[in-house]
Structure 1
Amino acid sequence: MSTFARLHALAAAALDRGDWVQAYRLAAQADAQQPGHPAPNHIGGVAALQLGRVPLAIAHLRIAAQARPAEADALAQYARALVMAHRMDEAVAAADQAAAAADAGDAALWDTLGVVYSKANAHEQAAHAFGRAVAAAPDSANHRFNLATCCLYFGRMEEAEREFEACVRLDPGYWRGHLALAQLRRQTPQRNHLARLQSLLERAASDVDARLHLHLAMAKELEDLGRDAEAFVHYRRGKAAWRDVSGYAPAQDQALFDAIERRFDQVPAGTPGHPGNEAIFVLGMPRSGTTLVDRILSAHPQVQSAGELGNFPAALHRAGGERGRSLAGMVECIPAGFDDWAGLGEAYLRSTRPLTGALPRFVDKLPHNFLFAGFIARALPDAPIILMRRNPMDTCLSNFRQLFAPESAYHAYSFDLLDIGRYYLRFDRLARRWIELFPGRILELRYEDLVDDQAGTTRRVLDFCGLPWDEACLRFDRAAGAVPTASAAQVRSSMTREYLQRWKRYGPALDGLRALLVDGGVQVD
Structure 2
Amino acid sequence: MAVVLPRKGSIAMNEPVELYAQAIAALNRGEWQKAQSLAMALLKQAPHHAGVHYVAGAAALQLGQMPLAAELSRRAVSLNPKRADYAAQLARVLAVGRFIREAVEIADKAMALAPEDPLTLDTLGVVYTQANEHGKAIKVFERAAALMPDRASYRFNLATSLTFSGRIDEAEREHRSCLQLDPKYWKAYLALSQLRRQTESSNHVSWFESVLPSAEHHADALMYLHLALAKEYEDLGRYETAFEHLTKGKSANRANRGYSTEHDEVLFKALAGTPVAPLASGSQSREPIFVIGMPRSGTTLVERILSSHPQVHSAGELQNFGVMLKRATVSRTPQMLDLDTVARAKDIDWRRLGDAYVASTRPGTGHTPHFVDKLPHNFLYAGFIASALPNAKIICLRRNPMDTCLSNFRQLFAQTSPYYDYSFDLMDTGRYYLLFEQLMAHWKQVIPGRILEIDYESIVEDQEGSTRRLLDFCGLPWDDACLRFHDNQAPVATASAVQVRAPMYRSALQRWKRYESQLSELRDLLEKAGTAI
Partner of residue 517 from structure 1, selected from 504, 520, 526: 526
CA contact (8 A) 2:423 2:429 kept: yes
In the alignment, what sits opposite 2:200? 189
In the alignment, what sits opposite 1:228? 239
- 1:241 maps to 2:252: yes
In the alignment, what sits opposite 1:74? 86
CA contact (8 A) 1:451 1:496 kept: yes
In the alignment, what sits opposite 2:168? 157
TM-superposition CA deviations, 1:44-81 (whole Å, max 9, x none): 11111000111211111011112211100100000000
Question: Secondary structure in 1 aligned to 2:93?
Answer: helix
In the alignment, what sits opposite 1:261? 272
In the alignment, what sits opposite 2:429? 420
Shift of the 403–517 alpha-carbon distance from structure 1 to 2, 3 Å rule, reads: same
CA contact (8 A) 1:377 1:383 kept: yes
In the alignment, what sits opposite 2:149? 138
CA contact (8 A) 1:255 1:328 kept: no
Shift of the 9–186 alpha-carbon distance from structure 1 to 2, 3 Å rule, reads: closer
- 1:22 maps to 2:34: yes
In the alignment, what sits opposite 1:12? 24
- 1:435 maps to 2:435: no
Alignment of structure 1 residues 12-411 onto 2, 5 Å: 12-104=24-116, 106-262=117-273, 264=274, 266-268=275-277, 272-329=281-338, 332=341, 334-335=343-344, 337-411=346-420
Deviation of residue 107 (structure 1)?
1.3
Deviation of residue 39 (structure 1)?
2.4
Structure 2, unmatched stretches of 5+, are: 1-12
Structure 1, unmatched stretches of 5+, are: none
Letter in 1 for 2:108: D
Partner Cα distance (1:110, 1:176) in 2: 21
Letter in 1 for 2:393: P
Deviation of residue 234 (structure 1)?
0.6
Question: Secondary structure in 2 aligned to 1:410?
Answer: coil
Letter in 1 for 2:56: G
In the alignment, what sits opposite 2:517? 508
Question: Number of matched residues?
Answer: 521
Shift of the 335–258 alpha-carbon distance from structure 1 to 2, 3 Å rule, reads: same
TM-superposition CA deviations, 1:87-116 (whole Å, max 9, x none): 000000111111121433x21111111111
Partner Cα distance (1:456, 1:269) in 2: 33
Query: What TM-score does the superposition give when structure 2 sets the normalisation length?
Result: 0.94
Deviation of residue 4 (structure 1)?
6.5
Question: Secondary structure in 2 aligned to 1:28?
Answer: helix
Shift of the 16–342 alpha-carbon distance from structure 1 to 2, 3 Å rule, reads: same
Letter in 2 for 1:464: F
Partner Cα distance (1:374, 1:224) in 2: 40
Partner Cα distance (2:344, 2:189) in 1: 46
State, as a whole percentage, how many aligned pairs show the same letter: 53
Letter in 2 for 1:320: T
TM-superposition CA deviations, 1:279-306 (whole Å, max 9, x none): 1100111001110011000100111100
Letter in 2 for 1:215: H
Question: Secondary structure in 1 aligned to 2:420?
Answer: helix
Shift of the 259–38 alpha-carbon distance from structure 1 to 2, 3 Å rule, reads: farther
TM-superposition CA deviations, 1:159-209 (whole Å, max 9, x none): 111111111111111111111111111111111111111111123222111
Letter in 2 for 1:118: T
Partner Cα distance (1:474, 1:343) in 2: 37
Partner Cα distance (1:476, 1:54) in 2: 39
Partner Cα distance (2:151, 2:291) in 1: 37
TM-superposition CA deviations, 1:24-60 (whole Å, max 9, x none): 2232232233334322221111111000111211111
Deviation of residue 493 (structure 1)?
0.7
TM-superposition CA deviations, 1:134-178 (whole Å, max 9, x none): 111111111111111111111111111111111111111111111
CA contact (8 A) 1:324 1:330 kept: no
Letter in 2 for 1:513: L
Partner Cα distance (1:15, 1:192) in 2: 41
Partner Cα distance (1:295, 1:494) in 2: 11
Question: Secondary structure in 2 aligned to 1:335?
Answer: helix
Question: Secondary structure in 2 aligned to 1:473?
Answer: helix
In the alignment, what sits opposite 2:457? 448
Partner Cα distance (2:485, 2:491) in 1: 13
